[in-house]
Structure 1
Amino acid sequence: MRLHRLEVTAFGPYRDRQVVDFDALGADGLFLLHGDTGAGKTTLLDAVAFALYGRVPGARNDAKRLRCDTAADEVPTRVVLELTVQGQRLRVDRSPEYDRPKKRGGGYTTQQAKAALTWIGAAPSGHAPDGLTRIDEVGGTVQRLLGMTAEQFFQVVLLPQGEFAKFLRADTAEREKLLEKLFGTERFAQVEEWFRERRQLSGRRLQEGEQQVRELLARVSEVVGSDRGDDLDEQDWLAEVDKNALRELESAQAERARLVRERETADTALTRSRELAEKVRRVQQAEATLAELAEQQEQHEAWRSEVAAARRAVPVGTAREALLRAERERDSAQRERDAAAADCPAPHDGETSLRDLAGQDREAAGALGGLLPEARQQDEDRARLSELDGQIAAAEQRESALQEQQQALPEQIEHARQRSEQARTAQVRLESAEAALAELAELDRVAGQFPAAEQERAIADVAVREAVDAHQRARDVTQRLRGQRLAGMAAELADRLVADEPCPVCGSPEHPDPAQQGADPVSDVDEQAAADAEQEAQRARETAEERLADARVARDGLLERLGGRSAEQVSAELAERRTERDALRETADQAAQRAEQLAELEATTERVRTELAQLRTEQAGRTSERASLATAVHERAQRLQQARGDFDGIAEHREHLLARAAARERLDTARTAATDAEQRVAQQRTAVADTAATAGFADRDEALAAQRDPERIAELDSALDQVQQRAAGAREALADPALAGVAADADPGVAEATEIATAARERAEQAVAVEHRAGQRHRDVQRLAGQLRAEWQRLGPVRAEHEELAALSDVVNGRGQNSKKMSLRSYVLAARLEEVAVAATRRLQRMSQGRYSFVHSDAAGARGTRGGLGLDVLDDYSGKVRPAKTLSGGESFLASLSLALGLADVVAAESGGVLLDTLFIDEGFGTLDADTLDLVMDTLDELRAGGRVVGLVSHVEEMRQRISVRLRVRKSREGSTLELQA
């Protein structure tokens, strides 16, 4: 990886756009970033990290404040980096997320983060030729090309000395965290976690099995009612329990068989006693029934006489019920007749029957029914007349309004046409007004620049005069010194004469009277210094004259562009043109609306004309319809008035006639029904008397007294049937051969036999229950014993597997038989750290002149804590290993730098051997003396072998003197700036 060019804008302390040309800086392979504290040296490294990974190292990334606080609102924060990775040159352009003022209104809005990757040259296979614009795609592509994560890049390419001094003195836990980030030992941590999970799973399976065994043993103890002794093996105790359950079952079965035989013998004796008791009961019951019936003989005869008389009185009762119905019908007919007479509106005069009068009324109602459609049509026509009157009045009002609108439309259309033309004209003029306004705005800007240009010209004029004066003075000094030297040249040559050596002028070895120097001799050094000062003054004069010429050209150009106008005139004209432009824009914006209004008015003219014509046509039709309809209504009203008579309408008159006809018909029918009912009553009275005589009763009252309800008759019949059945049943029982010889007072002995059978049955039932419990206990013991033996057999491999997994998990996680107390991950990290120590030792020995070497230790920590990541220093002067914390400040810097470089080499090799052509080392050189600094510089020279570029960040003045190419960072209130120095 080689960096070519970095561009930052509004990033960190850099308010304006700054560019770093790494190709120019790294031409010699070594360059320096120097400047005041806070000027932004480390920010350049942050910019490189942000361009590649979208983040910066350390706590600065947590602050989320990458934008320059003094940058202008319209200037975006941006970092652009050009680099070459794996032979492919690319450009990465990133902007962070930050808040900026809203363009309209107050407050702030969030400027979203952006990222873009562009290929310089042909895109590599598998990549889009147009580059990438999604943040995640850019980050993933950069990481794949570099072959390392952000944490690895921060430690391998941007070497932070403070961090490695901290790493040098760190304990095992802190050192492990950094190494995990750099070497990516997640897969080994996953292996450790896999063993822990498998161990936990196996442990749970074993615990579940052991819990199942404990539960089964507890259930066996519950079944047998005794616990296992502590001195008895579980399997031996289970076999003994099984044997005892079988013996108990066999004993219970034998006892149950004996007691069942005794119960059967007692049950047989009890059955015979109960059969004899039943025969005695039947004899006693039959004799008692016959005696009871003999005592009730007289009552039974009275029941028979009462039933016979009631059956003879049944026809008389039926005839009397018919008489009562006839009397009720007669009374109802009389009430109906009286009510009909009261409702009849016209009394009967005796000359015409009611039925004939009703017929006349119905005939008249039929004649009126033919006029009902005409009455309904009359109502509809009158409603239509009212509706036509309203429509005619409304149409007249609408016609008047349309005529007024039609008269006003021509003037409105003309006004709208003028407004539309004005808007179109404004659209045409707006473009030229905008162009003129832009020119005036540019002139206004030029007018604003003129005072500064005039001031610059005046300053340059003064500077030229001063430079001319200075140059003249320097020239005078040079000429004066040159004349003095020429005047004292003989003395200068005499100073060089040596006795007995020839004179360079005359060649004589004798020097009788050498010239002497004056009071203020001038040497060639003085003359050369004066000449140099004159040349410097000449260059300053030429620079000032060039600046004055540039200032005059700039001012004259502004004057020419202003055309003789002042700034106030330009501002006034700009305001006037802006007002004119705004008015034109407002009018032009209404062009569409005004054209639409004109079109609407023109369309309204045609619409009003059409509506007037249609309205007048419809009005003529309504007027004609009303005239014919009024004539028809008047003629029909005379006919309907005669038919209506004294009623409100024909329908009411017709309803009256129909109601009167119905009342007359009802009265006639009620009178006929009442007469017929009187005749039926007289006939039914004669029939009742004849029926009583026929049934053998003296009169009707005697027959009615002998009547009984059907329920009473059925009750008496049922009682007489029961008497006969009881007598027959008793005689039949006494005649049964099975009761022959059985006396009514015999004793069967049932109580004694029952007591003996009950006792035998209870003993047999208890024996059955005991046998059932013994059988259930034996089956439970067998079932649980089978489950226990199966569980014991299954737990054997489970326990062996768990013990093996537990031992392996302990070893992998640094416990148990692991004497080093190192986990698998720590073991891998220890191997990497050992490689780092070997790589770092080569540089540390060179920089310390062979005194110090790194020593890796895999010993366990104090009190059995985890080890494997120990890092000490071997002091060759004493031959003993020292803790790194005992090194001095300068020695710590050498050790930290060596460790950082060694770690960078190992991480680069671990990342696939990516060639790191650019390397940055940040701070830490101030603790070194001159000799040690020389050794460090020799080591850094070795780093740039093979084309590698090394960038140093330092305040040390000697570093700045020794490194030919450097990037100077200047800090001011307006923001930091960069300056390339040689």
Structure 2
Amino acid sequence: MRLHRLDLTAFGPFGGSQHVDFDELSTAGLFLLHGPTGAGKTSVLDAVCYALYGSVPGARQNGQGLTLRSDHAAPGTRTEVTLDLTVAGRRLEITRQPPHERPKKRGTGTIVDKAQTWLREHDATVGAWKDLSRSHQEIGEEITQLLGMSREQFCQVVLLPQGDFARFLRADAEARGKLLGRLFDTRRFAEVEKRLAERRRTAEARVREGDAALLADAHRMHQAAGDTMEPPELTPGEPGLAEAVLGAAALARSDARERLTVAECGRLAAESAQAAAERALDDVRELARLQGRFGEARERARRLEERAGAHQEARARLDRSRKAEAVAPALELREAADAEHRRAAGAEARARAALPERFAEAGAAGLATAARRAAEELGGLESARRGERRLAALVAERADLDRQERADADVLTESEGWLADWDAIRAALQAGIESAQESATRAEQLAVRIEPAQRRLRAARLRDRLTGETDEARERARASEQAALDARGRWLDLKEQRLDGIAAELAAHLTAGEPCAVCGATEHPAPARKDAGHVDREAEEQALAAHQDAEERHGRDLRRLGDLRQELAAAAAEAGDTPAEALAAEAGELERDHVRARRDASALHSVREELRRAEQEHQRRTAAQRDAAVRAASRVGHRERLDRERTALEEELAQARGAAQSVAARAAQLERRAALLTAAADSARAAEDSAERLKAADGRLDEAAFRAGFDTPQAAADALLDGAAHRELQRRLDAWQSEEAAVRAVLAEPDTVAAAEQPPADLATAERTAAQAAERLRRTASAQDAAVRRCAELDRLSARASDGVRRLAPLRDEYDRVARLAGLTAGTSADNERKMRLEAYVLAARLEQVAAAATARLQRMSSGRYTLVHSDDRAGRGRSGLGLHVVDAWTGRERDTATLSGGETFFASLALALGLADVVTDEAGGVRLDTLFIDEGFGSLDDQTLDEVLDVLDSLRERDRSVGIVSHVADLRRRVHAQLEVVKGRSGSTVRQRA
């Protein structure tokens, strides 16, 4: 990377535009950047970093945006930084403008313009610049990719801050590790350590879970085995736990099987005793049953003897009933004939009662003849009945014509009245539609205007609130800026006082006979003394801390002010200068107009529907008027035809109905007479037939009773039983016979007779003996079942424990392997003799490279006296790997870099910075760095050492590098001819360049 040109405008202390030609300065290879304190030397380097990365180095990066602007610049001048450089073979130009607060073009107050960035590339083929991008993100990614370094690495490699490397020399291993970790990005190795530690914890947890499950199974086996097993007194994770659990399980299973064998023997003995007791109980029960059966049969025989007379009487009654059953059909026939005769006689009497007096004595034949004559007369009236029905239809049709005529007259009258007002109705509805459409259009227009008005109102209210907050933030920023300036002045004053009295401070540590840290002499004839008001290191550091706190507070206030100004600018751009009250009134009026317009427009649909219905009604009434006129014309001829047909039918029907009111009435009279005569004739014939059948039934009944042995038919009827009584009597006779046969059979059984001859059976004693044997069998069976369950449970738990041990084996191996790796990478393993972490090991390798690269320059600066070496001796907390020692060729001894004097520390740190720049450059992909800057530290060197350091820096240009030295040392102005001077003044700083 080579810098060509830097243009500054209103940046830092530079109120106007300044131009730096690095090509001219780099011609000499070594150039000097100098100027008084506070002039802006560091701001030149800040501008380079800001152009590349959009932020400034170190703690100054907290002051971004508006704080980069020069306080000396005119309000209308925009802050801008332009850097022309070559990187990776490409000529680029980067222009950055931070956020800019400027007065509004209209009205009062200020507005903040957004930050801008441009990237251009020089095309050598056409000799012109071409634009590449204006995106902050794209430009940042492009520059970072080309340089191969982050902002922190660039500031550490290209802008070499000697104070940081002096602290790096004196720092402990932890501080060195933090710096190297940021430069070389070794976070992935720390992540490896973390990941291995997490895997170790996970594997340990899984092993402990497995051991806990084994112990749980051991306790379950102890519960299952009873007192014969004690669980191992070990905790999860202890060695030998698996073997102890499996051994205890084996002992428990063996004891359980022995107890199972004993229980099985006891159960077999109890089964034999119980079987014998059951057989004895069965024998006693059978004897008791037979003896009871014999006694019960004797009792049943006695009861049968007592009922023998009733049994004989029932048998005789059943025999008489069976004889009477032969007469039963004749009895039933006679009863049926008598009932039929009574019904026929009643029907004949009822039929004759409905006839006129002249038919009271007529026989069945005379009644039938009169019925035929009435039917013949009824047939002659059929044509007259059809004519009467037609006459009724004609009357109804004529009445319907009259009703239609009246309805059509009403329709014509109503339609003519409604159609007369049709034009006025249609005009009114169309006017309503047009009004609603106009309201809908206005509502849409108002809806478009409401949202912008509301946004402006919200922006105006935010603008008014942020205006007050911005004023308060501006006052706080001014106060914190003054406090920071005061703190900085006090710190610089104390630092200058301390430097004035540094000799006395160094003399305070002199010891007789010990070499001086500055000159190396062992005699101290006149050491300096501390005067009154001497400022020590603690006071200076307190002042520096107060200055840094004030700067941090000022930075926070500036960031807050910048944020408020940006928000205020956005709100002001949205709201304009109109007061919030006016915007609120305008928005309210728009909303009210919009509500009214929407309300008026909402009637559009209903008015359209009303017009559609009115048009349909108009069509309907017009059609109805036309149809009514047509129907009226057609009714005239139809009415005349109906009247002629009605007159003819009325004459015909007057002759047919005679004295009756109508033909239908005359026909009804004839139908009723014919029906009554026919029914009376049928009833008379049925009565005569039933009387003949009753007489025949009486003769057959007398003959059947005589044949069955009964004196009279009534005697046979009294002896006859109905079905239920006959069945009940037969059942009683059959039951008596069955009982008699069963008793005789029991009393004849040999076993029953033999049992009755034996003594009574003792059933209670036999049952008690059998119950005792069954209880003993239950106890022994329960004991055996418990032993079987115990064995099964122990086998199951043992199998599960064995499976758990097998599953745990690979987990234990994995845990041992991961634990060894985690301990090795964390530096806690016994195999890691130097207790070095993985990240520290990688950083140690980088530090060794840096020390080797720095030694090549340090030996030249120190005339071959000093060599930087890396040390992996143990340091704090027993760790090692990031030690840095210096080998003094004059003494041949190796000592810590913290023992170097001030001048030695400077050129050692310079050599370290240059070596670190080479290593980081190689790490970044070999990006060539053709321009370097070294910031301060030359004032602590004597003339000879200064010459050697300048020779080393001058040798860098042999590699086509240019080095810029930032220093106050006056002697450098005589030694370095190419200079860039920063001159400060009341109107801002300026730069003067001399090649």
Coarse TM-score class (shorter-chain normalised)? 0.5 to 0.7
Corresponding position of 1:901: 914
Q: Distance in 1 between matches of 2:229 and 2:772?
A: 37
Corresponding position of 2:25: 25
Counterpart residue identity of residue 859, structure 1 = D
Corresponding position of 1:275: 286
The answer (yes or no) to whether the contact 1:919–1:949 under 8 Å persists in 2 is yes
Could you report, residue by residue, the CA deviation over 1:745-786 in whole angstroms, capped at 9, with x for unpaired residues?
A: 962332222222222222223223323333343444455445
Q: Identify if the C-alpha distance between structure 1 residues 396 and 895 changes in structure 2 by more than 3 Å, giving closer, same or farther.
A: same
Q: 2:89 aligns with which of 78, 87, 110?
A: 87
Counterpart residue identity of residue 874, structure 2 = A
Q: Distance in 1 between matches of 2:822 and 2:810?
A: 18
The answer (yes or no) to whether the contact 1:290–1:730 under 8 Å persists in 2 is yes
Q: 1:264 aligns with which of 272, 275, 280?
A: 275
Q: CA deviation at 1:829?
A: 1.3
Could you report, residue by residue, the CA deviation over 1:226-272 in whole angstroms, capped at 9, with x for unpaired residues?
A: 34487998366555444433333333323322222222222212222
Q: CA deviation at 1:967?
A: 3.7
Corresponding position of 1:203: 204
- Superposed counterparts of 1:563-962, under 5 Å: 739-743=752-756, 747-785=760-798, 788=801, 799=812, 802-817=815-830, 818-848=832-862, 852-862=866-876, 864-873=877-886, 883-885=896-898, 887=900, 889-928=902-941, 932-960=945-973, 962=975
Q: Distance in 2 between matches of 1:966 and 1:737?
A: 152
Q: Distance in 2 between matches of 1:101 and 1:298?
A: 146
Q: 2:255 aligns with which of 244, 251, 259?
A: 244
The answer (yes or no) to whether the contact 1:45–1:158 under 8 Å persists in 2 is yes
Query: Secondary structure of 1:90's match?
Result: strand
The answer (yes or no) to whether the contact 1:220–1:784 under 8 Å persists in 2 is yes
How many equivalent pairs are there? 717
Query: Secondary structure of 1:952's match?
Result: strand
Counterpart residue identity of residue 90, structure 2 = Q
The answer (yes or no) to whether the contact 1:847–1:935 under 8 Å persists in 2 is yes
Q: Distance in 2 between matches of 1:767 and 1:291?
A: 52
Q: CA deviation at 1:888?
A: 5.3
Q: Distance in 2 between matches of 1:950 and 1:747?
A: 138
Query: Secondary structure of 1:257's match?
Result: helix
Counterpart residue identity of residue 756, structure 1 = T
The answer (yes or no) to whether the contact 2:979–2:994 under 8 Å persists in 1 is yes
RMSD: 6.5
Counterpart residue identity of residue 366, structure 1 = A
Could you report, residue by residue, the CA deviation over 1:476-504 in whole angstroms, capped at 9, with x for unpaired residues?
A: xxxxxxxxxxxxxxxxxxxxxxxxxxxxx
Counterpart residue identity of residue 819, structure 1 = E
Corresponding position of 2:601: none
Could you report, residue by residue, the CA deviation over 1:122-151 in whole angstroms, capped at 9, with x for unpaired residues?
A: 89xxxxx98566655544443343333333
Q: Distance in 2 between matches of 1:662 and 1:6?
A: 134
Q: Distance in 1 between matches of 2:198 and 2:990?
A: 57
Q: CA deviation at 1:156?
A: 0.9
Corresponding position of 2:532: none
Q: Distance in 2 between matches of 1:915 and 1:765?
A: 99
Query: Secondary structure of 1:822's match?
Result: coil
The answer (yes or no) to whether the contact 1:358–1:664 under 8 Å persists in 2 is no
Corresponding position of 1:215: 216
Corresponding position of 2:513: none
Q: Distance in 2 between matches of 1:102 and 1:839?
A: 57
What's the TM-score, normalizing by structure 1?
0.57
The answer (yes or no) to whether the contact 1:8–1:80 under 8 Å persists in 2 is yes
- Superposed counterparts of 1:313-712, under 5 Å: 366-367=393-394, 370=397, 372=400, 375=403, 379=407, 382-383=410-411, 386-387=414-415, 389-395=417-423
Moved more, 756-765 or 216-225: 216-225
Q: Does 2:76 match 1:65? A: no
The answer (yes or no) to whether the contact 1:392–1:623 under 8 Å persists in 2 is no
The answer (yes or no) to whether the contact 1:249–1:774 under 8 Å persists in 2 is yes
Q: Identify if the C-alpha distance between structure 1 residues 370 and 107 changes in structure 2 by more than 3 Å, giving closer, same or farther.
A: farther
The answer (yes or no) to whether the contact 1:943–1:950 under 8 Å persists in 2 is yes
Query: Secondary structure of 2:84's match?
Result: strand
- Identity, % of aligned positions: 40
The answer (yes or no) to whether the contact 2:290–2:756 under 8 Å persists in 1 is no
Counterpart residue identity of residue 833, structure 1 = L
Query: Secondary structure of 2:204's match?
Result: helix
Q: Distance in 1 between matches of 2:623 and 2:218?
A: 117
Could you report, residue by residue, the CA deviation over 1:161-194 in whole angstroms, capped at 9, with x for unpaired residues?
A: 3332332332222211111121232343344345
Could you report, residue by residue, the CA deviation over 1:654-706 in whole angstroms, capped at 9, with x for unpaired residues?
A: xxxxxxx99999999999999999999xx99xx9xx9xx99x9xxxxxx9xx9
Query: Secondary structure of 2:160's match?
Result: strand
Counterpart residue identity of residue 89, structure 1 = R
Q: Distance in 2 between matches of 1:290 and 1:149?
A: 127
Could you report, residue by residue, the CA deviation over 1:418-451 in whole angstroms, capped at 9, with x for unpaired residues?
A: xxxxxxxxxxxxxxxxxxxxxxxxxxxxxxxxxx
- Superposed counterparts of 1:127-166, under 5 Å: 131=132, 137-166=138-167
Corresponding position of 1:167: 168
Q: Identify if the C-alpha distance between structure 1 residues 676 and 44 changes in structure 2 by more than 3 Å, giving closer, same or farther.
A: farther
Q: Identify if the C-alpha distance between structure 1 residues 105 and 386 changes in structure 2 by more than 3 Å, giving closer, same or farther.
A: farther
Q: Identify if the C-alpha distance between structure 1 residues 678 and 200 changes in structure 2 by more than 3 Å, giving closer, same or farther.
A: farther
Q: Identify if the C-alpha distance between structure 1 residues 675 and 279 changes in structure 2 by more than 3 Å, giving closer, same or farther.
A: farther
Q: Distance in 2 between matches of 1:134 and 1:369?
A: 100
Query: Secondary structure of 1:4's match?
Result: strand
Counterpart residue identity of residue 161, structure 1 = Q
Q: Distance in 1 between matches of 2:34 and 2:415?
A: 104
The answer (yes or no) to whether the contact 1:378–1:633 under 8 Å persists in 2 is no
Query: Secondary structure of 2:91's match?
Result: strand
Corresponding position of 1:438: none
Query: Secondary structure of 2:86's match?
Result: strand
Q: Identify if the C-alpha distance between structure 1 residues 771 and 118 changes in structure 2 by more than 3 Å, giving closer, same or farther.
A: same
Q: CA deviation at 1:953?
A: 3.1
Q: Distance in 2 between matches of 1:213 and 1:959?
A: 80
The answer (yes or no) to whether the contact 2:274–2:770 under 8 Å persists in 1 is yes
Counterpart residue identity of residue 263, structure 2 = A
The answer (yes or no) to whether the contact 1:8–1:18 under 8 Å persists in 2 is yes
Q: Identify if the C-alpha distance between structure 1 residues 397 and 16 changes in structure 2 by more than 3 Å, giving closer, same or farther.
A: farther
Query: Secondary structure of 1:819's match?
Result: coil
The answer (yes or no) to whether the contact 1:14–1:977 under 8 Å persists in 2 is yes
Counterpart residue identity of residue 83, structure 1 = L
Counterpart residue identity of residue 280, structure 1 = Q
Q: CA deviation at 1:113?
A: 6.5
Could you report, residue by residue, the CA deviation over 1:898-931 in whole angstroms, capped at 9, with x for unpaired residues?
A: 3222211222233333321111223444555666
Q: Distance in 1 between matches of 2:14 and 2:670?
A: 126
The answer (yes or no) to whether the contact 1:15–1:68 under 8 Å persists in 2 is no
Q: Which runs of 5+ in 2 are unaligned?
A: 234-239, 347-377, 431-617, 643-662, 706-716
Q: Distance in 2 between matches of 1:734 and 1:107?
A: 137
Counterpart residue identity of residue 395, structure 1 = D
Q: Distance in 1 between matches of 2:624 and 2:47?
A: 96
What's the TM-score, normalizing by structure 2?
0.56
Q: CA deviation at 1:24?
A: 2.5
Could you report, residue by residue, the CA deviation over 1:5-53 in whole angstroms, capped at 9, with x for unpaired residues?
A: 3345665566766554322332222334445655554344334334434
Counterpart residue identity of residue 259, structure 1 = A
